Amino acid sequence: MARGQFISLEGGEGAGKSTQSQLLCRRLESYGIETLATREPGGSPGAEEIRVLLVSGKTERWDPLTEALLHNAARHDHVQRTILPALRRGVWVITDRFLDSTLAYQGYGQGVELDELSRMGNLAAGAAMPDLTLILDLPVDDGFARTERRSDDVSRYEQMDRAMHERLRQGFLSIAEADAARCRVIDAAPGADSVHDAVWKAVQARFDIKT
């Protein structure tokens, strides 16, 4: 059985990753491709418990290095218990966040050394590296406006200051530029249907899916 493909969706707060993950899974399923939608932090029972520690509480609850270690602990469990087993069964895995979020948030956004984060992330992810990464790019103020409309349940990361969110946006764009073979930047400002069209075109091109 052929190994499944692994696609990660990345971007700042309010970029629409969860929505686009669901839409992409439905589109792939319509072509007879079995999919699994998952997320980080989370995606396995143990990783979901760590997620609660990371997204709740005050912004100063953890320092950036501790955050990075927690993210990668959750990631390793996610990979071992969810992602790799699905890929080995031939399932396409679509994840809302993966390695690049840690580089952007704890690295570009909060100042942890990028080389240290890369080594940590590679150890946690092992053989599970995305075949395609779609970075949903959105101006920070637009992202804030969306998260304010979405819910009263505001995560720690959404409470962090605008300057940090500007740094992480630029971090995602730097990641895309440095790894252009894997990453595609998608304008996330239009409506969900328009963004999905751009996502689908990128997926079609990367995996040669015929209409």
Domain range list for the chain: 6-206
Report pLDDT digits (tens) over 61-120.
Answer: 999 999 999 999 999 999 999 999 999 999 999 999 999 999 999 999 999 999 999 999
pTM over 0.85: yes
What CATH number was assigned to the domain covering residues 6-206? 3.40.50.300
Show the tokens assigned to 206: 């990367």
Give the three-class secondary structure for 16. coil
Q: Would you say 207 and 34 are in contact if contact means Cβ atoms under 8 Å apart?
A: no
Angle at 69 between CA 150 and CA 124, to 5 degrees: 100
